Amino acid sequence: MIRLVKASMTLGFCLLVSSCCFGDVTNAGPEFEQVYKLLREHAPGISEAELNRAAVHGLISELNPKVSLLAGENQSASGTNSLILKSSIYEGPIGYLRIGRVSDGLPQAISEAITKWSATNKLKGVVLDVRYTSGDDYKAAANTADLFASKHRPLVKLSDGLIEGRDKNDAIKMPVAVLVNRQTSQAAEVLAAVIREIGAGLVLGSNTAGQATLGQEFPLANGERLRIATEPIELGDGTKISSEGVQPDIKIQVKPEDERAYYADAFRVLTRTGSLASATGTLTNQIAGTNRAPRRPRFNEAELVRERREGVSLDAATDAPRGREDDLPTVHDPALARALDLLKGLAVVRQSRS
């Protein structure tokens, strides 16, 4: 028991020291050893295992995202080893890729998927869904974003150097919408941030986890890893991803339980939801808030509205005959519906300028 208390105190001390990289701890609170001892002696029915579990959980929760528990080496935080969990073509046509984890091989997997689609479809855009996505390969995140950039530019600064994009003629020259939420963490956050920073697309959803940091990882006896952050990730333009996470360009307010349901089935109708978004109409969700991107994206909602006022008809957004959309199922996932609307609207703008 003494060893257990000392181990817990040592863990707490290490975590508190690591937080100094990001700020001082101003409210010290009661002594850990005193509280632990009192609970052990006077709280009936609480085993040492329960007490230890609560202590560790409390420390990590209090210091999150400066400190976090990661899944084992062979399993991502979302419980999958798959780089791409789902690929679909939505009306438009618009490609949809649900990313399982950001790791080595993801750039090639995305490139192959889009190449395969393009052989039979004239894609108008791509949705990258990184909700509930993690991964700790920041180089893979930068290289994935670089698929959509044709010019050489700095992308991400890591401890071992700067990752830069390359000049190329085979860049994917279609707009991107990236879906994020509070469970978008680490390399997935960097992927979203870099895609926006290079002007390839917009980020939709809610603030990400704020775990895009450089740090140290320590293996634990149960197979998990303890990650202690040392400094935030810095983008190529010098912007640092803060502990508040990546702020979306378009915020979409969805209850966590509803978002999980939509993530499982984008066409599902939730009766308790007050308002639902439609992917077959025009821009449907009211913007709850935005933040300015480091560089102006290739497209934005204000531009689409302006083009509409100048006489561009959104009915021309697809190549399908009138009446066909009425037969399609409606996407009720608010984030995905907004992304599809934006990409379809952009197709109208581009068509009017061609």
CATH code at position 123: 3.90.226.10
Assess contact for 221 and 228: CB atoms under 8 A.
no
Per-residue confidence (pLDDT) for residue 111, from 0 to 100? 96
Same domain (yes/no): 128, 251: yes
User: pLDDT at position 309, please?
Assistant: 46
In a domain, 102, yes or no: yes
Are 117 and 255 in a shared domain? yes
pLDDT tens track for 125-173? 999 999 999 998 999 999 999 999 999 999 999 988 899 999 999 999 9
Residue 71 covered by a domain: no
286 belongs to a structural domain = yes
**Residue 69 to residue 224: CA distance in whole angstroms:** 7
Residues in the chain: 354
CB atoms within 10 A of CB 52: 16
3-state secondary structure of 229: strand
Based on the fold, state whether residues 123 and 17 are members of the same structural domain: no
What stretches in the chain show pLDDT beneath 50?
Answer: 1-23, 25, 74-78, 273-294, 296-297, 304-323
Host domain of residue 275: 84-213+242-353
**99 touches 176 (CB < 8 A):** no
Pairing of strands 161-164, 154-158: antiparallel
pLDDT at 171: 94
Question: Is 220 domain-assigned?
Answer: no
d(CA 199, CA 38): 56
Report DSSP letters for 63-116, one per residue: HTTTEEEE--TTS-TTS---SEEEEEEETTTEEEEEESB--TTHHHHHHHHHHH
Position 217 scores a pLDDT of 86
Asked whether residue 317 is domain-assigned, the answer is yes
Are 196 and 277 found together in one domain?
Answer: yes
Q: For residue 65, is the peptide bond before it cis, meaning its omega torsion is within 30 degrees of 0? A: yes
Contact 99, 83 (CB under 8 A): yes
Pairwise CA distance, residues 247 & 333, whole Å: 20
Q: Do 208 and 348 belong to one domain?
A: yes
- Pull the structure tokens for residue 80: 């999958």
The domain tally of the chain equals: 2
If asked whether residues 192 and 337 sit together in one domain, one would say yes
Of 13, 32, 63, the one marking the end of a domain is 63
Question: Where are the alpha helices (H) located in the chain, listed in sequence order?
Answer: 2-18, 32-42, 48-63, 106-118, 138-145, 187-197, 256-264, 301-309, 334-353
Whether this prediction's pTM lies above 0.75 is answered by: no
| Tokens standing for residue 147 | 């698929």
Q: Are residues 256 and 146 in the same domain?
A: yes
